[in-house]
Each structure stands twice: as C-alpha cells, then as structure tokens.
Structure 1
Amino acid sequence: MPIGRMGRVGRPGLIGVAARTAVITGTASATAGAMGRRQQRKAESSWEQQQYAAQQQQAQVDAAARQAAAEQAAAAPAPAAAPAAAPAAGGISDDAMAKLAQLGQLHEQGILDDAEFASAKAKLLG
C-alpha cells in the first residue's frame, strides 16, 4: 500500500453510504411531492368539470320547467267569454279561484317552485 493513500479500497465508507442514502431519499421525496401535487391538480380539475356539468344540467332542467309551465298555461282552456264571475263570499271571484287551483296543481307537480308560486298567487290575489 502506498504511503500517500489513506482509507479503504473497494467498498465506500460510512460517509459515502450516508451521502448516497440522503440523495436517494431526497430524490424519492421530491418525486412523491411532485406526484402528489399533480394528483391534487387533476382532482381539482375533475371537480371543477363536474360542477360545471351540474350547473349546465340544472340550467337545462330550469329551462324545461319554464317551457312546460308556459305550454301548460297556454293549453289550459281559457274561460268562456261570459260576464265576469260574481265574487264569492270571501271576496274572490270564481275565475280567481280556478286560477288559484291551477297554480296549486302546477306547484304540486313541481313545475312552479315555491317562489314562483308565491309570486303568481300574490299577483292573482293582489
């Protein structure tokens, strides 16, 4: 063995093994972190797409409900061209009672929501 050379020959020393282990651990940690962030972004994107699709579907349902209500209102027989009905004992005409009943049916069928029903009823009674 030459005099100027120190240390072992062949296998790395304890410091070399520790350094190599630290590099491997750091690389694995960085890779795991990058994969975790990528999966998080992918999950967020998927959630946003689902929310957008749900909003679009709700808009279609709302439009269909409004159209059905309009069609049903148009298809309802108009009262005959008779003189205005006499007010009932409570101060409401028979025509207004019929319209209230029709509004109640639309509300029960789910065509009108609570706010639409209340608004139409207020207009009819007010």
Structure 2
Amino acid sequence: YKKEMSVSEEYAFVLKYNQDERYRDIIEAIKKKDKGIWNMLECADQIRQDEKEWLKKIEEERNELDRNQKITNARLEGYEKGISDGEARGEANNLNKNIRSMCKNGCGIEFIAKVLEQDIEYVEKIIKSNM
C-alpha cells in the first residue's frame, strides 16, 4: 500500500487484501472514497456467498448420489445372495427328491449314497424325515 495509488491500483489492492484483517482499515477508507470499489466488493461478496451455496448444493447432491449408490449396491448384493441361496435350495430339494424316489423304487441306502455321492448319514436322514 502507498498513499497515492491510481484507481486501478486501489482496485487491485482491495481485491488482493480484502480478506486480510491487517488491511481492514485501509480497505474501509478506500471503499468510502470510491463507490465503485464498494460496489465491486459487494458483488465479490455476493459471488463468494453464491459460490458457497453452490458448493454446498453440489456436496448435498454428491452425498445423495453416494447414498443411492450404496442402496443400489446393497440391493444387488441381496439379489445375488437370494439367487445363490435359491439355487442351493433348489439343488438340495432335487437331491432330496432323488433320494426319496430311489428309496421308493427299492434302492438301498448304500447304493443311493454311492450313486448320488452323498454320506450314508445324510441319505438316512432324508429317508427318515420322509416317513
């Protein structure tokens, strides 16, 4: 800062040091002297405020997108787990149905276990649960 500055230098000074508390008194004096500088600062403050609101809105939108993505991922995981569990249950049901059918047709427990590659205990359990 120097005592004699052109209007351009004052504008530049105010823009550069507007947020610096050390120069608050000098900037206030310049603002009082030149209404154009005061208007420029008002516009700059409004732009800063608008920018803060815009950034806040962007942050809120980003958080909402993140939240929605997490929900979508959780749904997909649940869907995939449901399919996997359903396939496993379907395979177990088919296996149990085959065990019961073979038993009804006179096949022995050891034969059923061997053909279906299952433990004898499991085959016995399925046959007993059917009775």
Q: TM-score range by the shorter chain?
A: 0.5 to 0.7
1:78 to 103, 106, 115: 106
1:44 pairs with 2:57: no
1:61 pairs with 2:61: no
| AA in 1 matched with 2:70 | A
TM-superposed CA distance for 1:42, in Å, is 1.9
Measure, in 1, the Cα distance between the counterparts of 2:59 and 2:121: 57
The structure with the largest helix share of the pair is 2
- Which runs of no fewer than 5 residues in structure 2 stay unpaired? 1-33, 114-118
Identity %: 3
1:7 to 35, 58, 73: 35
| AA in 2 matched with 1:64 | E
Q: Which residue of 2 aligns with 1:26?
A: 53
1:36-56 deviation line (CA, Å, top 9, x unaligned): 101211221121122112112
What RMSD in Å do the two structures reach over aligned CA positions?
Answer: 3.8
The number of residues matched between the two structures is 92
Q: TM-score, normalised by structure 1?
A: 0.52
Q: 3-state DSSP class of the match of 2:36? A: coil
Q: Which has the higher contact order (CA 8 A, sep 6+)?
A: 1
Measure, in 2, the Cα distance between the counterparts of 1:56 and 1:23: 49
